Every structure is written in structure tokens, then in C-alpha cells.
A = this chain, B = another copy of it.
Amino acid sequence: MDEPLNLVLFSGTDDKLQAAAVLAAGAAALGKPVNVFLQYWALDAFRRDRIGRDHGLSPEAGTEGRRHVDHLHKAGQASWADTLRQAKDLGSIDIQACSLSMDLLDIDSTDLDPLVDGVEGVTAFYINAGEGQVVFI
């Protein structure tokens, strides 16, 4: 029951990040600790100067999907970053950048949005994950 939910975020498109934020916020609201591990293009999306940008959608969204997402955005839907910020106030969400992906993207921790709590390697990720679920998004 006390085992955390562990989300490995790989994709950096707004639709997948929104799905991830909803899963994280839902688990946190139920009192479950949530660990988020940022890799590759998801990590890129958490850069301080990029987090507020349009990060595109999965190719399969097409123009109809794009229209639906834009419509909700104009109607005031919280962005995935805002959903995560609010969820951090509600529950326990720890967001860590993957050190290998930091090297890949050639960035350091000062480049990251304050939503990100630190940088760790995959071994630390597994140790914090314990016996909890690992979900790759």
C-alpha cells in the first residue's frame, strides 16, 4: 500500500505529458507517493525556458486531435505543468531528471524548471521505486 507509483517519462509531447500528469495527480490525491523519472524528450520539455512552450502532439493526433486539444486549452484547461504543480501541493510527487539524459541533452540542473527536484541515475531510481509499479510513458 505504501509502495510508490514510478513513472518513467520518455515522450515530450503535450498529450503524453498531460496523460502522465493526470496519472501522477490521481495517485497523489489518493495518498500514494509518486516518483517521476525524466528521460530523453520528456526531460527536454522540463527545461526552464521550454516548459511553457507548445511541445506538439503525437503524430497520430492529426488535425482533428490538434483541434480538440486547442479547444480545451482555450477553455482554460490546466497545462500538464500546472497539473503537476498543483499535484505537488496535494501529495507527494518527486521529480528527478535522469543523469544519462542530462548528458545526452548537454544540460545541467540550472537549466531545469523548479518542478524538477533533482538529478539521479537509474540505480537511484530503482532503489526509490522499491516494489512499486513502474510505468513507462
Contact = CB atoms under 8 A, between A and B. Distances in A.
Interface string A12-42: 1101100100110111011010000001110
Q: Is the interface of A mostly helix, strand, loop or mixed?
A: helix
A133 interface: yes
Interface residues of A, number: 50
B133 A133 contact: yes
Given A19-B136, A44-B65, 8 more contacts: A5-B134, A19-B39, A26-B126, A41-B58, A58-B60, A72-B104, A133-B133, A135-B136
Interface of A: 1, 5, 8, 10-13, 15-16, 19, 22-23, 25-27, 29-30, 32, 39-41, 44, 55-56, 58-61, 65, 68-69, 71-72, 100, 103-106, 121-123, 125-127, 131, 133-137
